[in-house]
Structure 1
Amino acid sequence: MDASLKKGKGEKNFGGNVMHQVNGLFDKFLSPQQTSVLPVQATQKPSSSLLQSRWFRLSVVFYIVFCILMASAHFSAWILFKGKQGFTSIDRLELERTYDADAAYSLMSTMTPGLKFSKLFSKAQYDALKYTQPFWQKAAQVPEPSQVTFIVTTTPKTWKDLTQFAKHWNGPVSATLHIASTQKQQLKTILAEYQSTPELFDHVDLHLVETPQGIEKTASILIPLNVERNLARVFARSNHVSDIPVHTLIATNIQQTLLKHAAEYTELLRRGDMLVIPTFAYNEHAHIAARVPQTKKELVGLVENEKVLGLYDGRFALNGGPTDFEAWKIADDLYKVTQYTMEYEPIVIQSKTVQPWCSERFMDKRSACLLSSYLAGNDFYVLPNDFAVQKPNNQGTAVSDLDSVIEKRLYAKFYWEQCVYHGRQLDALGLWNSLKSNHIRQQCSRIIQNWGRGLIGKPE
């Protein structure tokens, strides 16, 4: 017991000695001894009570010790790692993520669908786009980059046409399914058929578009068909795409043709040119054939001898359009379309990334999708041995008579606008006097003289 008392007393004396030394150091620092020849007054000015505080002096000591330790640690680290890690210039500095590097994160992930799609498709209505679902159903097979993905717009009413097209084509398809908010039961039926049909399940990507009234009676002003075409093209999973009406059937093996002429055709598509798939339609007096012709020879016989089919170029009379049936009949190689007009809207294979997008100001105007490309200097080349057959469409157009008049007037103004726009672009690129501007010179000479005088080419 005496030993423990002595030990405690010794520790107390040691702590007291340390504090005494610290106090002595502070006293010397605060009141250094000075020698003076003058007499010193007996009374001195009292020091500050804070400086005389025991706890204040301890905190200062601890702070000094802490600073010494931190400085020693940093200095040691600098000595040990010097030379292993050089100075990084601001140009080579890479900013590191402030979140989990393994997590798939993007600012796009936090945006609402309506916000994203209203920027992508500025002519569509924001509230309608909120219910758009890309890849509502995703095809099981991933297409090869060199394959052609057909772009299709469909509704519950034309769903059977899409099913028939998919079975006949048996290749990649990117389709929009436009439904009304009240068609939930029909959507379940479509889903069941999609999952039970191998040609659909394996090859067709379905992007769901939902609006309050759908598109059964009239074309949707909220989300025009040209917007749907762009939507399907954005999410196509190959490098080449082709916009095709849903009631059209591909009669030949186009994929085999592209593989056979891969180098030539891929180069044409890469530079912006388009491959035309000649499309044939039944005339209004013909009975629907039991089968689709599979060869060019068989097809020519149905056109010339039985006269049940004709080369269809949209608004032109059968066999009277720019694709030129007489030229196609004898062609063995690609040939260029030379009689283009602004109403020409063939089915074409084109690059997904190079071509201009469909103008979304139109509810349903396929020719507007091709006009910009042609005025930019790109050509149409017709495939000599491949073709498609369009089934009779008894459902009529979804565009009302009033909307047709509005579209026609808008398209005339759009044509003038595109002439000046692409003319100025070619001029800015230094291509106005090159072969690239031949199309716009032929199509737009009068318009440019009126609208672009002094703006395009040399001032007159």
Structure 2
Amino acid sequence: MTEPGQATFDVENIVYSQQTMKWKIPNGFPEHELMEDAVLQKIFANTMQPSKVLPYYFKAVRDFDPESVTITTLITFDRYPIFSKLVTNYQGPISVSIHINDDEYRDENLANLHEMYNSNPYMREFVDVHVVVDKFDRQFNMWRNVARFFARSNYFMMLDVDFHVCTNLQRHLSLDPKARKLMRSGAALILPAFEYVEQEDGVDSATFPKSKEALIRLVQNKRISTFHDFFPKGHNATDYEQWYESEDVYKVTTYQHSYEPYVILKKEGTPWCDERFIGYGANKAACLFEIYISGIDYWVLPQDFVIHQSHPYKEETRKQERKYNRKLYQNFQEEACFRYSRNFLTANLWNHPKSENLKQQCNKIRGFKQVTTQFVTDMS
């Protein structure tokens, strides 16, 4: 890029580069070399194809503390301004997937990406950018997996870009030994989500409350409510009434399959988001459902929270895609339940506490309990 914002990079070379990856082989054997595209195609094999993943299109200059929490998020070109706000506010490691549609606007959108990245000095310090170039819009779970795969710390927070982390999360975690212990054990930590009642009040994140006490006052004055309170299944398992009173991390005990909290997870050992979900509806719920039945418990942080930054929605697009994903999610739950039950049975973990989340949720599926009882009998 030359000043001011003139695109002089070789777009074709960037997008269609032929990079290789090398494996070091022990005992003096020569390195084994594979095409990077082949490796990434295997990693993201369940996505729409063809797709080009460009890891570390920009890479932060900082070396991050392995114990820090990397925000993983995803954006398209229309979310650049709100993403810049997130970077300035968090000032910690961020791994972001950016989708560039492979159409006549591709070069222009890549130029806009460079302009956005260079417009904020915190980008260079804290943000790793991974670009996905293809013709397929809204592969949200694939984009989430890209951001997580290339995150450079042991923990990641799965966050939508239009949410504002209002508190000093990193400091609170450093001062809470129970929360740190839970993180290291592989448990999930939740930040309760809120939104302004009047959407125009939620546009400027600089005006958002910065403490739990200030937030509760706004809730009591009915200026802020729980996020999407018209759809309680999405967030009610957080138990907001308990959160208002709590001074300690507490366990989610009323999980439901539509639960979509904003959550901190351990990078290694956490299941990946199923990439067959394309578009709006159920994509994140399916991801969190699989994480939960895999044996990972959810715990709510007592001081930290996120607030939604208001913006218009494309409701007609969402309506059609939700209809498709609703049916896919119904089948996915049954499939995931049988897959993990087989894992637990084979690994002799069926009577272990790790399988309790699965039994709690999957026994709601018609016929599941009878089938697994027969499995247990046959294996015995």
Q: Same fold (TM over 0.5)?
A: yes
Match of 1:443 in 2: 361
Of 92, 106, 118, the match for 2:41: 118
CA distance, structure 2, for counterparts of residue 184 and residue 327 of structure 1: 50
Confirm or deny: 8 A CA contact 2:53 2:131 kept in the other structure. yes
CA distance, structure 2, for counterparts of residue 349 and residue 157 of structure 1: 26
Unaligned residue ranges in structure 2 (runs of 5+) = 1-25
Of 110, 132, 143, the match for 1:187: 110
The answer to whether the aligner puts 1:140 opposite 2:61 as a matched pair is: yes
Unaligned residue ranges in structure 1 (runs of 5+) = 1-93, 99-104
Of 151, 162, 172, the match for 2:83: 162
CA distance, structure 2, for counterparts of residue 270 and residue 399 of structure 1: 39
Sequence identity (%): 29
Larger proportion of strand: 2
CA distance, structure 2, for counterparts of residue 134 and residue 193 of structure 1: 18
CA distance, structure 1, for counterparts of residue 201 and residue 359 of structure 2: 44
CA distance, structure 1, for counterparts of residue 49 and residue 203 of structure 2: 44
CA distance, structure 2, for counterparts of residue 192 and residue 117 of structure 1: 27
Confirm or deny: 8 A CA contact 2:202 2:308 kept in the other structure. no
CA distance, structure 2, for counterparts of residue 422 and residue 252 of structure 1: 36
The answer to whether the aligner puts 1:201 opposite 2:116 as a matched pair is: no
Residues 191/457 of structure 1: CA separation in 2 closer, same or farther (3 Å cut): farther
Aligned counterparts, 1:417-436, within 5 A: 417-436=335-354
Of 270, 282, 288, the match for 2:196: 282
Match of 1:393 in 2: 311
Aligned counterparts, 1:54-453, within 5 A: 95-98=27-30, 106-108=32-34, 111-113=35-37, 115-128=38-51, 131-181=52-102, 182-212=105-135, 215=137, 219=138, 224-261=139-176, 263-283=177-197, 287-288=201-202, 291-305=207-221, 307-312=222-227, 316-317=231-232, 321-364=236-279, 365-396=283-314, 400-447=318-365, 448-453=368-373
Confirm or deny: 8 A CA contact 1:311 1:318 kept in the other structure. no
CA distance, structure 1, for counterparts of residue 309 and residue 212 of structure 2: 18
Q: Quick check: which has more Rg, 1 or 2?
A: 1
SS at match of 1:238: coil
Give the C-alpha shift of residue 450 in structure 1. 4.6
Aligned counterparts, 1:8-19, within 5 A: none
SS at match of 1:208: strand
Residues 138/370 of structure 1: CA separation in 2 closer, same or farther (3 Å cut): same
SS at match of 1:455: helix
CA distance, structure 2, for counterparts of residue 189 and residue 210 of structure 1: 15
Give the C-alpha shift of residue 240 in structure 1. 0.3
Give the C-alpha shift of residue 284 in structure 1. 5.1
Give the C-alpha shift of residue 193 in structure 1. 3.0
Amino acid at match of 1:298: A
CA distance, structure 2, for counterparts of residue 171 and residue 165 of structure 1: 10
Of 369, 375, 379, the match for 1:455: 375
Give the C-alpha shift of residue 315 in structure 1. 7.3
When normalised by structure 2's length, the TM-score is 0.84
Give the C-alpha shift of residue 428 in structure 1. 1.9
SS at match of 2:156: strand
Spell out, residue by residue over 1:275-324, the C-alpha distance to the aligned partner (whole angstroms, 9 max, x if none).
0011111225663375010111110011112x121122687339971111
Amino acid at match of 1:226: N
Spell out, residue by residue over 1:103-136, the C-alpha distance to the aligned partner (whole angstroms, 9 max, x if none).
xx5413xx141x22221011123422xx321100
SS at match of 2:61: coil
Amino acid at match of 1:299: L
SS at match of 2:50: helix
Confirm or deny: 8 A CA contact 2:235 2:261 kept in the other structure. no
Give the C-alpha shift of residue 196 in structure 1. 3.6
CA distance, structure 1, for counterparts of residue 277 and residue 229 of structure 2: 17
Spell out, residue by residue over 1:168-192, the C-alpha distance to the aligned partner (whole angstroms, 9 max, x if none).
1111110011112323123213213
Confirm or deny: 8 A CA contact 1:135 1:205 kept in the other structure. yes
CA distance, structure 2, for counterparts of residue 283 and residue 320 of structure 1: 16
User: Which deviates the most, 327-336 or 197-206?
Assistant: 197-206
RMSD of aligned alpha carbons: 2.4
SS at match of 1:159: helix
Give the C-alpha shift of residue 396 in structure 1. 3.2
SS at match of 2:236: coil
Confirm or deny: 8 A CA contact 2:234 2:259 kept in the other structure. no
